[in-house]
Amino acid sequence: MVAALSFFLTVAFWPGISGGATTPRWALLSCVIPIALWLRPTQWTIAHVVGMAFVLWSGITLIWTPNLVLGLNAYWQVILMVGVFALGSSIVTLRPVLIALGIGFGINGALVLMQGLWWNPFKYLQTPGNPEVVATFINGNLLAECAALTFIGCTAYRLWWCLPGLLPAIILPWTNGTPRAPLVAITVSGLFWLWRRRPLLAVHLLGFATIIGASVIGGHGDSLGQRFNIWSDTLRGLTPFGHGLGSYYVSYPAYAERQNTLLSRPENAHNDYLEIIYELGIPGAILLAYLIGIAWRSSRQPERYMFIGVLVVSAFGFPLHMPMGQFMAALIAGRLCGDWLPLRASLSLGRIRVYAWFTRVVDAYGGSRSFEKGGEFFSGISSVFTRCRQLLHRHPLERVSSASDRSNQGRAEERSFSG
């Protein structure tokens, strides 16, 4: 189901309505995610608790948001993002999803190639405000960013046959002057992979990539200069508790000094981190940072490379506010957090650690023999929980196979005993 949803999200397009590239995708997510969560139960971890706290705080900020309609719309998008996160934490591998994404973005790449060579079927959708319509995404930036994330994932999973179809979707939108965030994401993910094997070579390539990137940015400083102006004005409007969810478009003009909002008003800050701090304040930023830290501590290397790409792209665009980008980011983060201990086991392990720390402190300051016995008792329990955590951090297929081996061994022992 997740793979099928991924494919249909890449090609969902309805040119006859407002937001023909985004509205069908939001509608598809709104219909499928609740059903998918109902059919696939999710095991709660500490990451799910943090996600629910993020949803709760986002709802609280609706009290002081200047436009409740925009706030409720953004709140539903947050709920969908958390639902996709829960769905990602329940799947074993992203390989089928990446195959579906590779096929879908390959179709978009063929459309982009067709637009650039001989026939543009989307020409009638062009407007003065949006002169370049790129495939079914309309926005060439978003298409290139999502295709770059798929490119990173297919490379990590060694799905080499998917890569040629992704190249047109990544490269050809650049001819329209779009930012170089997709290339930066691919470069940073590749350097992170190389750093684990050849650190010195990675440092040299980083310096070379920095020089090349500076020269490329210098040739297209228009877009980057506009982003710097938007970021500067957004920083000026930061408050401890934020302006409320969905408030950026309405409240930004009050702090705009470098951007003429009478000519053009940005709907997003072109930086997801900055926009979340602007709308949700310090509590929202802390919850997001904690969730990123949980995902980063995962041992899943293929998804971690994709997660690096998400972090890089979010610093230059707004993928978390678009259906396709939000779906991919939440699914990757959920997959990384899916291998954590279940919530009840995490709480039990935390209590055992507190008890063990308490007994060590008492023993250090000259505790009695009863405390010494208690320390041995809690130390033994702590070692048991440590062993359980090591087993739970193994790959789910390994856990299933080990469990089936134990059950088969138990049946053999029962047969030998009855015989």
Spatial CA neighbour of 153 closest among 281, 353, 3: 3
Instruction: Say if residue 50 is exposed, middle or buried (CB neighbours under 10 Å; 0-12, 13-18, 19+).
Output: middle
Kindly report the length of the chain: 419
Q: What is the mean pLDDT of residues 402-419?
A: 44
pLDDT digits (tens, 9 = 90+) for 110-159: 888 877 777 666 665 665 555 466 777 777 788 888 999 999 999 988 89
pLDDT digits (tens, 9 = 90+) for 84-96: 998 888 888 889 9
Q: Per the structure block, which two tokens stand in for 266?
A: 């940005």
Per residue, what are the HEC states of 286-328? Answer: HHHHHHHHHHHCCCCHHHHHHHHHHHHHHCCCCHHHCHHHHHH
List Cβ neighbours of 180 (8 Å cut-off, separation of 6 or more).
Answer: 174, 213, 216, 217, 220
Confidence of residue 80 (pLDDT cuts 50, 70, 90): very high
Can you tell me the distance from the alpha carbon of 206 to that of 277, in angstroms, rounded to the nearest whole number?
29
Q: Per the structure block, which two tokens stand in for 166?
A: 């992704």
Q: Per the structure block, which two tokens stand in for 93?
A: 């591998």
Q: What is the mean pLDDT of residues 401-413?
A: 45
Residue 419: is its pLDDT beyond 60? no
List Cβ neighbours of 173 (8 Å cut-off, separation of 6 or more).
Answer: 112, 134, 140, 141, 143, 144
Residue 350: is its pLDDT beyond 90? no
pLDDT digits (tens, 9 = 90+) for 192-245: 877 777 766 666 666 666 666 555 554 444 577 778 888 888 998 899 999 999
Region of 270 (left: φ > 0; alpha: ψ -120 to 50; beta: rest) is: left
Please report the pLDDT score of residue 302 as a whole number.
82
Please report the pLDDT score of residue 263 as a whole number.
77
Sign of CA dihedral 298, 303, 305, 307: negative
Please report the pLDDT score of residue 214 as a whole number.
56
Please report the pLDDT score of residue 332 as a whole number.
92
Which pTM was predicted?
0.79
Q: Where are the domains of the chain?
A: 2-337, 343-418
Q: Per the structure block, which two tokens stand in for 142?
A: 């978003």
